A and B are shown apart, each in its own frame.
Chain A
Amino acid sequence: MRKVLFLSPLDNIAVCLSDIAAGEMISQEGREVTAIEHIPRGHKISIRGILKSEGVIKYGERMGHATTDIPVGAHVHTHNVLGDRLSTEQV
């Protein structure tokens, strides 16, 4: 069974289809990525390095930006991503 879902070739994240343990290697559809931390089912794993302020891309579309440098294999979520819209905060 697939462990992750690659949604678009433009994406820098993949969606985990089950809990992924730290150190677990995912080898699927000709790609390889090693999780550097635990990532819960349904959450996102970075499949490329994402620099601070760079866009996080899902479905081939920008869903927000990184608030810190995100290495490959990291849990990508509210602790390191922020939406671009509807904010009183200036980035």
Chain B
Amino acid sequence: MTAPFPTPVADEAQRLLTPEELEAALRDIGARRYHNLHPFHRLLHDGKLNKDQVRAWALNRYYYQAMIPVKDAAVLARMEDASLRRIWRQRIVDHDGDHPGDGGIERWLKLAEGVGFRRDYVESTQGILSATRFSVDAYVHFVRERSLLEAIASSLTEMFSPTIISERVAGMLKNYDFITKDTLAYFDKRLTQAPRDAEFAIEYVKQHATTPELQRKAMAALTFKCNVLWTQLDALYFSYVAPGLTPPDAWTPGTGLVPEAAVAQAPGTGTLVATDVPRLPRGVRLRRDEVRGQHVLLAPERTFDLDDNAVAVLSLVDGSRSVHDIAGALAEQFAADRTVIEADVLVMLNDLAAKRVLER
């Protein structure tokens, strides 16, 4: 029988790997195939997507989130060992929560609402791409039909997720004014949950993949799972980035949203927080006014006279320092308390941001 999914290195299928070699081989699959490498994710994290493209991502990804407990329940149903089930059932609790309003699915709905969707529209999944549905359903079928070892191995993408989550949260907060820390609460939890889950799964796979054949199947399962994730992004890219061919009945911008969300917000606007990197956009210039012997901030149809403190802050606004960095530099320069300075700097910069002469 030919392998249903190519293993990454053909030779490795021929001999029994040590557990460490097996882990290295599995990690290598992620290094080359995990969806953090997908062009859509690069655009997402670098702030290159517009709000509607971010919406398409949040909407489609909801279906994946919603089906995760269904998938885990299928895995659980295959486990005959109570000690295994006790561990695995935690995944279902994490996603479904202990009560209404709790859990990962709920947090994803919050994210979708945060970008403007109506909750009922997201839950209906009527606007998702067929490719999303096919990929996610294939994953559920896979864990039902394959061995328990393969089902558990397919979950190993969690080994790679902390990296992408940190990248994503930092990138999205920095680049999209419509994304707040609250919106991204889903990922806060996953940062601790995913490594815990992955640790159990990798140990299980290393222990139970005891023949070259089983090791090859574990690797194929992980490859399959990487493809489940990758394919979803292919479909998003094809439908909403380029060539932009949206299939019939799939979500189109402007639908499924709460009325207020129909008004788009410009990039770079919104309230600054300490981790934000402020910059003066084109058309705003800090200048020495020799005639009046002071510094001024020149902006569209207005001039701000600056006192020494404002000049000290704005001189450090260079598009690479965060507010936190700026406060740190000033604290050192003036031998003052950084926390106090940071609060003052935030007030001043947010005032300028509200006047549209400062962005992030």
Chain B binds chain A: no
Binding site for A on B (CB under 8 A): none
